[in-house]
Amino acid sequence: MTDSPGKSARPAPTSFFVTDGNAYVPTRLARGPWGPSVSGNYVGGLLARAVEQGVDDVDLQPARLTVDLLRPVALQPVQMHSSVVREGRRLRVVDAVMTQNDVVVARASALFLRRSEHAEDTVWTSPVTMPALPAEPDVLADDVPLVLHSFGRDPVAGSPGVGVTEWRHHGQKFVWLRETKLLVDDEPLSSFTRAIMAGDVTSSLTHWGTEGLQFINADYTITLSRLPQGVYIGLASMTHYSHAGVATGVATLFDEKGPIGSGMATALANPGFTPPPSIVSG
Q: What is the mean pLDDT of the chain?
A: 92
Q: What is the pLDDT of residues 18-48, one digit of tens each?
A: 999 999 999 999 998 888 899 999 999 999 9
The 3-state secondary structure of 221-239, one letter per residue: EEEECCCCCCCCEEEEEEE
- The answer to whether 151 touches 164, Cβ cutoff 8 Å, is no
Structural domain harbouring 214: 16-115+140-279
Give the pLDDT band (50/70/90) at residue 9.
low
Helices (H), 63-221: 191-199, 201-207
Domain CATH code at residue 230 = 2.40.160.210
Residue 273 falls inside a structural domain = yes
Q: How many domains does the chain have?
A: 1
Residue 185 falls inside a structural domain = yes
Residue 51 falls inside a structural domain = yes
Q: What is the pLDDT of residues 114-132, one digit of tens each?
A: 999 888 888 999 999 999 9
Residue 186 falls inside a structural domain = yes
pTM of the model: 0.92
Q: What is the crossing angle of helices 191-199 and 40-52, to 10°?
A: 150
Residue 225 falls inside a structural domain = yes
Q: What is the pLDDT of residues 72-101, one digit of tens each?
A: 999 999 999 999 999 999 999 999 999 999
Residue 126 falls inside a structural domain = no
Long-range contacts of 161-167 (CB under 8 A, 24+ apart): 161/1, 161/275, 161/279, 161/280, 161/281, 161/282, 162/204, 162/275, 162/279, 162/280, 163/204, 163/205, 163/208, 164/212, 164/275, 164/280, 167/204, 167/205, 167/208, 167/213
Give the pLDDT band (50/70/90) at residue 229.
very high
Residue 49 falls inside a structural domain = yes
Residue 199 falls inside a structural domain = yes
Query: How many Cα atoms occupy the beta-carbon half-sphere of 19 within 13 Å?
Result: 10
Q: What is the pLDDT of residues 99-111, one digit of tens each?
A: 999 999 999 999 9
